[in-house]
Amino acid sequence: MPLPIEQYALIGDTETAALVGLDGSIDWLCLPRFDSAACFAALVGDESHGRWKIAPFSGSTSVRRTYRGDTLVLETEFTTPDGVVAVVDFMPVRQGPPTVVRIVEGRSGRVQMHMDLKIRFDYGAIVPWVRRADGGMVAVGGADAIALRTPVPVEGRDLSTVATFQVPQGEALAFTLSWFPSYAPRPTDDEIGDPYVALEHSLAWWRDWIRPCTVPDEWSDAVRRSLLTLKALTFAPTGGIVAAPTTSLPEQIGGVRNWDYRYCWLRDATFTLHALLDAGYRHEAEAWSRWLRRAVAGSPDELQIMYSVTGERRLTEGVLDWLPGYEGSAPVRIGNAASEQFQLDVYGETLDMLYCVRAVDMSFPDDSWDLARYLVEHVRKVWHEPDEGIWEVRGPRRHFVHSKVMAWVAVDRWVRMNEEADDDAPLDADAVQPWRDLRDEIHAEVCAQGVDPKRGCFTQFYGSTEVDASLLMLALVGFLSADDAHIVATVDAVEQDLLVDGFVLRYRTDVAADGADLAGDGASGAAASVDGLPPGEGAFLLTTFWLIDNLVMLGRLDDARRRFEALLSLRNDVGLLSEEWDVAAGRMVGNFPQAFSHIGLLNTAANLARGLAGPASRRAHGHRTPT
């Protein structure tokens, strides 16, 4: 049985990541990259599907863990009747093969330890052949191989590699596990490197990376940890950032809304750029924007909402039916069928990203102008069409208000790019005018068809009387000013209809009058919501950050700070956030750690610290009034 989600911590090498449990077990690791098949999949099954546990043989009386300062080096300290021992876990940033290092340090007394290593390639489906090798063992199965090096004698038992050993005070024992292709030679000691030298290098690497960051003093610990987490979810060779390192951690325990988040979403683009740039990380922001430009190259009508870390487009969804799922939450999915949906908002996010890149004077080659033009020309053709929307509805398409507003953003940013450019603008003043007219046309339609005439608030889609949390983006992208009557009414409606115990839901119900499956689980007609929550999901953390951003822009600073502090209190003991919060159970749900949650934390902290100089107001500059 896997641990509660909040009892896991993250280690990584900026190409993949592992989740380490409070019990000393690595229950999730995909090698050699984030979206590769897992060799440890106990997180979505049980220990028979692969895990690597190092812990006191007879258990412990208490466990304490922390990252070593501003790094991704994790230290888990076990107190036992016989003494105190620590397991130090990290993944060196790659110079050789992908490697996990675990160093067991004796702190006091003499503690007997036990190691249980179950390697199961292809998400627990392949039990490898294992043979002894100098200083450890080698496991081979299919295309994958793993080498374990350790001074501790190991033996095979019940399809596992086990060891029992003692660690006295002042001594340390190192275990290194390295992946390599099964057709290649085992990595040499020189290629893997000395584990103790690797520890010092890793500590220095993360400290050097975080040192230049500029963050608010008040929440500096939370902000720095979120930045480190975001960096850990970056695929260094390309600059792509995965939404999370996991798949199929459920949005509700026992539910079916279990999705693969090990991909890069376009809508994350400008949020990520603002968060990185605001903290001073221009290099990462440029790498992310280059990844995005490469990924979306091609015909604009083939634009996807997500891509792989290297830009692959075929993310075919499948089910791993041999895995029971996290706490029985089946199915376990790999791939993501939402990549094939039409979501109009991603055009706006991409144009906003390109506008942001140019506005801060980052590299903006000719092909960026070409990409912007191709995309906005496509928006002109398709903005009238219904789509699946930001929440990736698996049902009939609709005229979602947020989607239409993001079409407006696409045109607005194209207009601004040409108006604010110097001699390199592709359009002169006369050629820009038709785009201004289109911008006004979209704006007028949204204000006419996307507003509830009784409450004066924007609605989820044309003809609806419901709100959803995506409407909180309208002021943040500059569609209307934050103090406009429609925006104020929308914020009021969200607080009235979607707040549950202080958290903002995405929407109130999951089944609309026409039977559309707004929950996205393919189960239209699902059970009614419980305690105000839509069936099948917890409360999204990102949407609550959006509400706080709106409160800042409205000048409701005390309320905004109170809500922000409440969100900060949800972080686990090492400062990590999942995608959602189960209000009833008081626990994390959804994939973990979630980049969007940490991006929300970063942007909201900056907004609170800097007010109208924060990223929300900067993104929303150029406010308009309704026509």
- What lies within 8 Å, CB to CB, of 164 at 6+ separation is 57, 112, 113, 114, 115
Given a cut of 70, whether residue 522 has pLDDT beyond it is: no
3-state SS string for 146-215: EEEECCCCCEEECCEEEEEEEEECCCEEEEEEEEEECCCCCCCHHHHCCHHHHHHHHHHHHHHHHCCCCC
* 143 HSE (CA, 13 A, CB side): 6
pLDDT of amino acid 620: 61
With a cut of 60, say whether residue 534 has pLDDT above it: no
The whole-number average pLDDT for the span 92-111 is 97
* pTM of the complete model: 0.93
pLDDT band at 8 (very low <50, low <70, confident <90, very high): very high
Percent of the chain at pLDDT exceeding 70: 92
Given this model, what pLDDT does residue 41 score? 98
Question: Residue 254, CB half-sphere, CA atoms under 13 Å: how many?
Answer: 3
Q: What is the DSSP string of 343-380?
A: -THHHHHHHHHHHHHHHTT----HHHHHHHHHHHHHHH
Are the beta carbons of 27 and 242 closer than 8 angstroms? Answer: no
| CATH fold for domain 220-619 | Glycosyltransferase (1.50.10)
Residue 622 pLDDT more than 80? no
Instruction: Evaluate if residue 625 carries a pLDDT over 50.
Output: no
CA 309/CA 103 separation, integer angstroms: 30
pLDDT tens-place string over residues 333-342: 999 998 888 8
In this predicted structure, the answer to whether residue 523 has a pLDDT above a threshold of 60 is no
pLDDT in tens, 229-265: 999 999 999 999 999 999 999 999 999 999 999 999 9
Q: Please answer whether residues 74 and 206 qualify as being in contact, where contact means their C-beta atoms are separated by less than 8 angstroms.
A: no
Judged against a pLDDT cut of 80, whether residue 624 lies above it is answered with: no
Read off the pLDDT of each residue in 130-137 and give the average, rounded to a whole number. Answer: 92
Which architecture characterizes domain 5-187 according to CATH?
A: Distorted Sandwich (2.70)
User: What is the average pLDDT score of the chain?
Assistant: 91
Residue 76 has pLDDT above 60, yes or no: yes
Q: What is the pLDDT of residue 515?
A: 42
In terms of Cα–Cα distance, which of 342, 597, 392, 407 is closest to 507?
Answer: 392
Domains of the chain by residue range: 5-187, 220-619
User: Residue 492: what pLDDT?
Assistant: 98
Q: Which of 397, 494, 477, 479 is nearest to 445 (CA)?
A: 479
CA distance 494 to 475: 14
Average pLDDT over residues 519-537: 43
Across the range 58-67, mean pLDDT stands at: 94
Q: How confident is the model at residue 118 (pLDDT cuts 50, 70, 90)?
A: very high
